[in-house]
Amino acid sequence: MSPEDVKQWVDILSTLLAAGGGGGIILAVIGYMRAKAEKPHIASPTVGTGGLAQIAGMVMGQTDLKDIIDALRGISASHDRCTLMRESEMVARKKEVDETREHERRLLEERRQHEKRLAEDRHQEHREMVEAIQGLTRGTRDIRCAG
């Protein structure tokens, strides 16, 4: 026997004779025999190599999918920002149009009031002129009647 074989046997004997070592070995042998007698609780894989390759591809592609999902979320957020900007721009334009319409309405109202005042002034001047002519006509009639 070579010195290595002797050392191996000495290790085995020291393990068996060590405190608790023999009990551990006996328990291990009993556990092994019970496990051998029982049916294995783990089923053998029914997925073939192609299926395992697909699963591995899905697991490895998970980060790519996360990147794609993040990119889609970024696009969605960008679209939302564009929509909000467009809506705020439309609100601003609508407000500007409303202000312009209100200004034009005020100008039109002022113009109508001005034209109404001018018409009233012309009507008043016409009345005064008619009254003056009637006064002259009466005065002329009075002069003729007196003469």
Predicted confidence (pLDDT) at residue 99 exceeds the cutoff of 90: yes
Predicted confidence (pLDDT) at residue 106 exceeds the cutoff of 90: yes
pTM: 0.38
Q: How confident is the model at residue 100 (pLDDT cuts 50, 70, 90)?
A: very high
DSSP string covering 60-105: HHHHHHHHHHHHHHHHHHHHHHHHHHHHHHHHHHHHHHHHHHHHHH
Residue 8's pLDDT is 73
Residue 61 phi, psi (nearest 5):
-80, -5
> What would the pLDDT profile of 22-62 be if each residue is shown by its tens digit?
566 666 666 667 766 666 556 565 666 777 777 777 776 77
